[in-house]
Amino acid sequence: MKKHNFNAGPSILPRIAIENTAKAVLDLNGIGLSLLEISHRSKEFQAILDETMELFKKLLNIPAGYQVIFLGGGASMQFCMVPYNFLNNKAAYVETGVWAEKAIKEAKYFGEVNIIASSKDKNFTYIPKGYTIPTDVDYLHITTNNTIYGSELRFDMNCPVPLVADMSSDILSRPVDVSKYSLIYGGAQKNLGPAGVTFVIIKEDIVKNVTRKIPSMLNYATHLKDPSLYNTPPVFAIYGCLETLRWINGLGGVKTVEAMNIKKANLLYDTIDTSKMFVGTVEKDSRSIMNICFVMNEKYKTKEDAFMEFAKSKGMLGIKGHRSVGGFRASTYNALPIESVQALVDTMNEFEKNNL
């Protein structure tokens, strides 16, 4: 039976990327060594790193004056690094879910944090709108996609202060105007590659204003001076990212991927909206195209476990909602084929037909 991988992360990757990475683990480009045992100072790895950075820049149309670096520690380390480097007095944060809350918690160790907008009042089921961005803060931090709750900010805002964005779960899912941001970061394990590497897109000028003494590994200037090579980088994970970027490039780029993602999301949301049994949990103008969350109508709540078992019998994997919200979540990341979404829709329709 075919398996359909809706896991929220680590998540589905392009099959060709997995196969090519597996080949490199056995023998990298015929050099007689595994990807896992080459030196990070070797010409072979430098070529991998250079191509990965250049493809990242090409696919997101990253302008001059920005660098792409690859670090360890996950997005969670960036929750600390961002304020350590840039929060001198006060920073503004938009609170849209658990990961935004975690970023806020870390920032409070370094200065005043002003939560200028929040959707906590409705359990993070919408993206706040109409708030005023103060001009006396060091930066504004946003989380563009909320994996647990299924909400997403799908445009690049105009911001009067440096804008920092956690794009862990929607990077490369749509074109981004990078010039509107001072820093974009995220874990790779949703749309980019295997777990173990963090991407950072950083405007070079912003590090010039850092005055605090910072340990070398937590200082962005360290990693800009010797891009991604100050210490041993996560070689395997970076190579996995390279293969995924090659796949996206071969499809025609991020615009092509975005069209695919919108088609997948519309298929599932249309099914939810016309169902008598399933109900969406996010306000329609805030819905994510990456993480689609839904529950059973109150009348059928007792059938949730039965649906989970039925879905598993049909090859659906990873559709259980996050433990903090319950229900169901289908993560429709870039590499998920529309055939899998159609299979989920067919499963939902069959279950509904037999259980109303």
pLDDT in tens, 115-152: 999 999 999 999 999 999 999 999 999 999 999 999 99
Q: What share of the chain in percent tops pLDDT 90?
A: 97
Same domain (yes/no): 108, 128: yes
Same domain (yes/no): 155, 221: yes
Same domain (yes/no): 66, 26: yes
Query: Does residue 98 lie in a domain region?
Result: yes
Active site residues: 99, 166, 190
State phi, psi for 9 to the nearest 5 degrees.
Answer: 140, 135
Query: Does residue 4 lie in a domain region?
Result: no
Same domain (yes/no): 125, 229: yes
Examine the fold and report which residue of 251, 272, 294 is the final residue of a domain before the chain moves on: 251
Three-class secondary structure assignment of the chain = CCCEECCCCCCCCCHHHHHHHHHHHHCCCCCCCCHHHCCCCCHHHHHHHHHHHHHHHHHCCCCCCEEEEEECCHHHHHHHHHHHHHCCCEEEEEECCHHHHHHHHHHCCCCEEEEEEECHHHCCCCCCCCCCCCCCCCCEEEECEECCCCEECCCCCCCCCCEEEECCCCCCCCCCCHHHCCEEEEECCCCCCCCCCEEEEEEHHHHHHCCCCCCHHHCHHHHHHCCCCCCCCCHHHHHHHHHHHHHHHHHCCHHHHHHHHHHHHHHHHHHHHCCCCEEECCCHHHECCCEEEEEECHHHHHHHHHHHHHHHHCCEECCECCCCCCCEEEECCCCCCHHHHHHHHHHHHHHHHHHC
Same domain (yes/no): 53, 137: yes
Domain that holds residue 335: 254-355
Same domain (yes/no): 246, 266: no
- From residue 28, how far is each of 37, 198, 210, 270 by CA, in Å? 10, 23, 40, 45
Confidence of residue 1 (pLDDT cuts 50, 70, 90): confident
How many CB atoms within 10 Å of residue 270?
11
Confidence of residue 211 (pLDDT cuts 50, 70, 90): confident
Same domain (yes/no): 267, 244: no
> For the segment 295-317, what is each residue's pLDDT rounded down to a tens digit?
999 999 999 999 999 999 999 99
Tally of domains in the chain: 2
196: CATH: 3.40.640.10
Query: Does residue 5 lie in a domain region?
Result: no
> For the segment 77-108, what is each residue's pLDDT rounded down to a tens digit?
999 999 999 999 999 999 999 999 999 999 99
Same domain (yes/no): 150, 232: yes
